[in-house]
Amino acid sequence: MGKAMSKSQVAAHLASKFDLKKKVAVNILEEIATLAYREAKNSFTLPGIGKLVLVDRKARMGRNPATGEQIQIPAKTVVKFRVAKAAKEAVLAMK
């Protein structure tokens, strides 16, 4: 398995693909990230890739693995990314 692309590599690829300056490509990536963070509460979709959603988790009982003691884990809201069906099919078809 290869190494993941860095932000700089992604920006360089986009810049060459769409004939942009690398700085403009970096600004586009940063703006998409900022928009995703701001809109996550309403769910943010990147078409063909997936969706960022907020999910409420209920309070539950857990166990301290070191001592075996039961502890109460409070309810909380977490961010999840749901991969789009098209992305799953495209990635899994490559194997």
Percent above pLDDT 70 for the chain: 98
Q: Decide if 7 contacts 27 (C-beta within 8 A).
A: no
Amino acid identity, position 83? V
CA distance 94 to 7: 23
Pull the structure tokens for residue 26.
């970096």
- pLDDT score, position 1: 64
- pLDDT score, position 21: 96
pLDDT digits (tens, 9 = 90+) for 54-88: 999 999 999 999 999 999 999 999 999 999 999 99
Is 93 found in the same domain as 49? yes
Backbone phi, psi, residue 20, to 5°: -115, 165
In the chain, how many domains are there?
Answer: 2
Is 47 found in the same domain as 24? no
Angle, to 10 degrees, between the axis of helix 7-17 and the axis of helix 22-39? 120
Domain interval for residue 32 = 1-39
- pLDDT score, position 94: 79
- pTM flag (> 0.85): no
Is 82 found in the same domain as 47? yes
With cut-offs at 50, 70 and 90, classify the pLDDT of residue 2.
confident
